[in-house]
Amino acid sequence: MKKFLALFLVICLSTLIFASCAGDGPSETTGSGTTGSSTTAGTTATTAEETTHVSDDPQIVDSLDYDYVVRTVLDDNKKIIGVAVFAWKDKKATESITIDSEYVLDGVTYPVIQVGVGQGVLSFQSQLKSITIPGSVKTIAKRAFPTCPALTTLNLSEGLEEIGEMAFWGCKSLESVTIPSTVKTIGSNAFADCNNLKSVTISRAFESQIDDIFAGCPNLTVTYID
């Protein structure tokens, strides 16, 4: 009888332990569900970033819809009035590029008013042969396209007002360029060391600056427009 009682107690104790262990199951499941929820939220965030990514600088925007990254241009009241092409995406760089005249950000269309913000948009690009910049662009910033040795065609549009210093420095295959009549400012060495540059059409207002703008262009013939 004592043996039977002892056996009965052992069976009861085992049953209680098993029930206790089984009771822990829902807690683990709940924990797993929470983790899954976080993962799902993370995936959603990643998907959103793939469409439009804003870096640590809130003015820099990277959208999958464009081949380049832009920086928003603000007025004195911090309102966006347009965008500047900040940098071309390496994998999107081709022989011929055309800057868009408009950029859609968060459903709002803004004009592309500047190319470059003081650093290379496409620098040292051996494959780049042609650049077309629309009339919406007012400024080509300094060092925007330096040392692109294969660049032969540069299409600048009326409406452009400023070309920054060294903007096309060292583009050795460039043979001719027409500076739009709307350009008011050209920086030092903007076309320096473009040593194959043979023909330039430019406003007579820049006559005194020719040697500075086109330094290192020994075969240059200049046609002035009044």
| CATH number reported for the structural domain that contains residue 140 in this entry | 3.80.10.10
Co-location of 109 and 155 in the same domain: yes
Confidence band (pLDDT; 50, 70, 90) for 4? Answer: very low
Is residue 7 predicted with pLDDT exceeding 90?
no
Co-location of 41 and 62 in the same domain: no
Per-residue model confidence (pLDDT) at position 55: 62
Per-residue model confidence (pLDDT) at position 134: 97
Confidence band (pLDDT; 50, 70, 90) for 42? Answer: very low
Co-location of 41 and 146 in the same domain: no
Per-residue model confidence (pLDDT) at position 157: 97
Co-location of 183 and 79 in the same domain: yes
Compute CA distances 142 → 117, 149, 163, whole Å. 7, 18, 7
A 10 A CB-CB count for 47 gives 9
Q: CA 16 to CA 85: how far, in whole Å?
A: 70
Confidence band (pLDDT; 50, 70, 90) for 123? Answer: low
With contact defined as beta carbons under 8 Å apart, do 193 and 218 qualify? no
Q: CA 172 to CA 19: how far, in whole Å?
A: 83
Co-location of 32 and 62 in the same domain: no
Co-location of 69 and 36 in the same domain: no
Confidence band (pLDDT; 50, 70, 90) for 120? Answer: low
Is residue 44 predicted with pLDDT exceeding 50?
no
Structural domain boundaries enclosing 114: 55-225
Is residue 219 predicted with pLDDT exceeding 70?
yes
Q: CA 205 to CA 194: how far, in whole Å?
A: 21
Co-location of 73 and 21 in the same domain: no
Specify the range with the lowest mean pLDDT, choosing from 4-18, 95-109, 160-174: 4-18
Is residue 191 predicted with pLDDT exceeding 50?
yes
Q: What residues contact 73, with CB distance under 8 A and at least 6 apart?
A: 80, 81, 82, 83, 84, 113, 114
Count how many domains the chain has. 2
With contact defined as beta carbons under 8 Å apart, do 161 and 180 qualify? no
Amino acid at 107: G
